Amino acid sequence: MTTLHELETPSLVLDRAILDRNLSRMQGRMDGLGVRLRPHVKTTKSFDVLRRTSAASITVSTLKEAEYFLEHGVTDILYAVGIAPGKLAHAAALIQRGANLTLILDNLAAAHAARALPVLIELDVDGHRSGVSPDSELLIDIAKTLGSSLRGVMTHAGESYNCASTGAIVAMAEQERAGAVRAAERLRAAGFDVPIVSVGSTPTATFAANLTGVTEVRAGVYMFHDLVMAGLGVCDIDDIALSVLVTVIGHQPERGWIITDGGWMALSRDRGTAKQQGYGVVHAGDGRALSDDLIVTSANQEHGIIARADGQRPDFTRYPVGSLLRILPNHACATGAQHTHYNVVEGSDSEVVARWDRINGW
């Protein structure tokens, strides 16, 4: 078996024990609230990860994900990006091949184009991005255009990523639930069947106190967690299952810098949102926290610059040229996408117990 020391860095490392704990914690929450969890696979993009869950239905962010998971036998798929008319033929082909694929949209032009396929109407509950207001006339007009294609409503409270407190996330979860349920009730009052009421984001799924009227919850990043989630109080640092293994390639003693081969190509350009920690928090090569408070302060394409967060000079003898470090990511979705596979480990054991491939692109 390979060990971490035999990997060519930078490499993506996934801690299976932490992953499994994150999966069962979220499943337990949803079971407690009596709602189906429909995991979003956009973070992990790997059937090897999905099979650790008990999910029979998934959410995807691209038709390529839909295609890949369909090939692995997953048929119940929600494509949660407003459908572009140019993608309808591809979507129809996936349905032909056995996918129980549902689309989303928020406008009449797309509704006209997509009338032959199963559709959820996308709702805007927080002014974050897409969707129609639950209280709008447009909601009813789109339903009329869709006719028997209509399967329900969905929304994503993306603003939950910008909440300043866990109390604010609890409130946002209720806003998300209430908006979706209100839209569903208006549609039912207008004579439509609305079997699906779909909501979710990792923060709102983690803090929702009540999901009455909701039929399913979507969340993705909870599987790996990251520094943004930790900054929001959604997880602890030791719930982060993903990291990038890097090698020290030099020092700049006067500036207090440790130079590594983990640049933004390996870490992604994501700078986080909730709490600024450069390009990531630095742990030891075996995954343990370091007593020095090291972060990646700057990154070039294939170089990372590590320094102490307090501005003090690190003890360079602890980080000699050739030694390994692990960088916890700001945003697991972005960091994962820079890599083709996961090197799976368990805890501080350096043995790579599995290699799990992931997909990228469109």
Q: Which is nearer to its own copies, 29 or 261 (CB)?
A: 261
> Which among 31, 61, 40, 47 is positioned nearest to 219, based on CA atoms?
40
Residue 314 token pair = 């690190």
CA distance 283 to 292: 9
Cβ atoms of 222 and 30 within 8 Å: the answer is: no
**130 in contact with its own copies (CB under 8 A):** yes
Please state, in angstroms and as integers, the Cα–Cα distance from residue 108 to each residue in 145, 210, 254, following that order.
Answer: 7, 32, 62
Given 125, 333, 344, 352, the residue binding its own copies (CB under 8 A): 333
Choice from 72, 129, 188, 288 touching its own copies (CB under 8 A): 129
- Closer Cβ to its own copies, 124 or 176, answer by number: 124
Residue number with CB closer to its own copies (215 or 330): 330
Q: How many residues bind to its own copies according to rule CB under 8 A?
A: 61
Q: Does 226 bind its own copies (CB under 8 A)?
A: no
Q: Of residues 29, 38, 120, 124, which one binds its own copies by CB under 8 A?
A: 124
Work out which of 266, 295, 325, 332 binds its own copies, going by CB under 8 A: 266
Q: What is the dihedral of CA 67, 72, 78, 81, to 10 degrees?
A: -40
- Binding of its own copies by 127 (CB under 8 A): yes
Strands 216-219 and 100-105, by their bridges, are: unpaired
Q: Judged by CB, which is closer to its own copies: 211, or 244?
A: 244
Contact at 8 Å (CB) between 154 and 79?
no
- Pairing of β 304-308 and β 257-260: antiparallel
How far is residue 274's CA from residue 166's CA, in Å, rounded to a whole number?
A: 12
Interface contacts to its own copies, rule CB under 8 A: 5, 8-11, 42, 61-63, 81-87, 90, 105-107, 109-110, 113, 124, 127, 129-130, 158, 247-252, 255, 259, 261, 264-266, 268-271, 300-303, 305, 320-322, 331, 333-334, 337-340, 361-362
